[in-house]
Amino acid sequence: MNMGVVRESYPGERRVALTPAVIPNLKRIASEVLVEAGAGVLAGFEDGAYVEKGAQVVPSRREVFERADIIVQVRGYGANPGAGRADLSYLRAGQVVVGLLDPIASPEAAAELAQLGVTAFALELLPRISRAQPMDVLSSQATVAGYKAALLAAMALPKLFPMMITAAGTITPAKVFVIGVGVAGLQAIATARRLGAVVSAYDVRPAAKAEAESVGARFIELGLEGGDVEAGGGYARPMGEEFYQRQRELLGRVLTEQDAVITTAMVLGRRAPVLITADMVRRMRPGSVIVDLAAERGGNCEVTVPGETVEVSGVKVIGAANLASTVPYDASQMYARNVTSFILHVFGRRGELDFSDEITRETLLTHRGQVVHPRVRELLGLPPAVAKGVG
C-alpha cells in the first residue's frame, strides 16, 4: 500500500498535508510514501527533508496519483472546488482520499467522488469523542486561526494592547471582545491576554462561561444563554431570526465599549449567523477593529468581505480567510500529526476497514460507488444507503 501527498492547489494555500517528521510512522503500514516535488516548500519543508525520513520524491502530480493507493490532502475536492476539479481526472476506482472535503456545504462534490469509485474520508466529520482528539484537524487548525486573529487585531488597532506606565503617562489597555468561545475563540482570548489586553467573551452555550474564564476572559451574559442551543461538537445549533435579532440588540450595547472584536461563531454546514449588522459597526468607536473568523462562511459581520479589509465609519472589518495557511510551518505539522493518527487508526489493520468503528464509520463519505454518509445523502436527496459492506 502506497501513500501520496501532493502540493496543495487551493489559491493561497501554503500548508502541506504530510511533513517529514510523520513519514517514519506512516511507513509502518505503507510500502512507500510518495511526495510530489516541492509539495512542502511553501510550508518550509524541502524535498531533501522528506527523502531523509524515507519518503520518495517524484517529479509530477500525476505520478503521485498513479502510484498511490491513499492520497492525503489538506483541501481535497469539495473544500477546493475550483482548482481541485483538475485532480478528478487522476483519481481511479478503489483509490482512497483523506482530507478536508467540506461535504456538508458541498455535497455535490461527494457525489462526483462516488461516481469515480473513490473511497473518501472527510476529516470534518470526525466525531468529537475523546479517542478521536489526536485526529481532530478542525481543532488544531482553529487553534492557529485564533492565535493569528488576535495578532491581526493588535496590528490593525491604532493603540497598544497592554497597559503601560511610562514617563509620558499611563497607557490604558485595549478592550478586546471575543464572540464564540470554541477552540479558535479560546486561543484568541489567551493570545490577546498574553498581549496585555482586557478581554471579555460571549457565547450562547452555557459551558462556554467556565471555559472563557479559565483563560482569563470576563464572560458577558446577555440573558439568552442556556436552553437547547448545543448542536454537539462545540457548535451551537441554528437559531430562529427572532433570537438573532434580540442577540444583536444586546450585543450592540457591548460593542460600543470595545476596541477590538473577534468573531468566531459558526454553525456546522451552514452560513455563519450575522451577529453584527452594518448599523452596529457604525455605532462602534472610530478606530475600532473587527476580525471576522467566519468570513469564509459568509461572516458574522454584515459588511465582511472574505479575504479583504473594509472600513465603515472608521471601523476596520477584516475578513480573515484561511488564517491557518498564514502560519504554514506549524499548522502543517499539527495537521500532519492529526492525519497520521487518523490513517494509522483506520488503516492499521493491514488496510482492512473496520466499519463497526465509530471514527471510521462517521468520517467515511463515499465507498464502492455511492455516497454513504447519512447526512450527506440526505442533503443530496438520496434515500438511506443500502449497506454494501459498510456498517
pLDDT at 257: 94
Q: How large a percentage of the chain has pLDDT more than 70? A: 94
pLDDT at 228: 55
Min mean pLDDT across 36-50, 106-120, 156-170, 227-241 is at 227-241
Residue 199 within any structural domain of the chain: yes
Residue 309 within any structural domain of the chain: yes
Both 264 and 162 in a single domain?
A: yes
Q: Above 70 in pLDDT, residue 227? A: no
Residue 244 within any structural domain of the chain: yes
- Residues 338, 25 contacting (CB under 8 angstroms): no
Residue 390 within any structural domain of the chain: no
Mean pLDDT of 146-161: 97
Answer with the one of 274, 297, 321 that is the final residue of a domain.
Answer: 321
Both 293 and 350 in a single domain?
A: no
Both 168 and 201 in a single domain?
A: yes
pLDDT at 270: 81
Both 312 and 334 in a single domain?
A: no
Both 307 and 341 in a single domain?
A: no
User: Tens digits of per-residue pLDDT, 5-42?
Assistant: 999 999 999 999 999 999 999 999 999 999 999 999 99
Reported as a pLDDT band with limits 50, 70 and 90, residue 51 is very high
pLDDT at 261: 98
Mean pLDDT of 343-370: 90
Answer with the one of 281, 301, 321 that is the final residue of a domain.
Answer: 321
Distances, alpha carbon 212 to alpha carbons 205, 223, 236, in Å? 11, 17, 16
Mean pLDDT of 63-81: 97
Stronger pLDDT, 324 or 225, i.e. the higher one? 324
Both 156 and 281 in a single domain?
A: yes
On the 0-12 / 13-18 / 19+ scale of CB atoms within 10 A, 88 is middle
Both 185 and 310 in a single domain?
A: yes
pLDDT at 102: 95
Both 259 and 112 in a single domain?
A: no
Q: Above 50 in pLDDT, residue 74? A: yes
pLDDT at 79: 96
Q: Above 80 in pLDDT, residue 351? A: no
Catalytic residues: 128, 133, 136, 139, 235
Q: Above 70 in pLDDT, residue 151? A: yes
Q: Does the CA dihedral 109-110-116-121 come out positive or negative? A: positive
Mean pLDDT of 136-149: 97
Q: What dihedral do alpha carbons 244, 177, 185, 156 form, nearest 10°? A: 120
pLDDT at 320: 93
Reported as a pLDDT band with limits 50, 70 and 90, residue 391 is very low
* Dist CA 41 CA 14 (whole Å): 8
Q: Which three cell numbers stand for residue 218?
A: 470576563
Q: How large a percentage of the chain has pLDDT more than 90? A: 84
Residue 110 within any structural domain of the chain: yes
Both 160 and 20 in a single domain?
A: no
Both 14 and 59 in a single domain?
A: yes
Domain range for 252:
143-321
User: Tens digits of per-residue pLDDT, 240-264?
Assistant: 777 778 888 889 989 999 999 999 9
Mean pLDDT of 71-92: 96
Residue 386 within any structural domain of the chain: no
- Residues 65, 43 contacting (CB under 8 angstroms): no
CATH number at 246 reads: 3.40.50.720
Answer with the one of 293, 321, 349 that is the final residue of a domain.
Answer: 321
Q: What mean pLDDT is reported for the chain?
A: 93
pLDDT at 206: 84
Both 187 and 298 in a single domain?
A: yes
Q: Above 50 in pLDDT, residue 239? A: yes
Q: How many domains does the chain have?
A: 2
* Dist CA 286 CA 278 (whole Å): 14
Mean pLDDT of 275-299: 96
Both 57 and 76 in a single domain?
A: yes
On the 0-12 / 13-18 / 19+ scale of CB atoms within 10 A, 294 is buried
Residue 217 within any structural domain of the chain: yes
Residue 391 within any structural domain of the chain: no
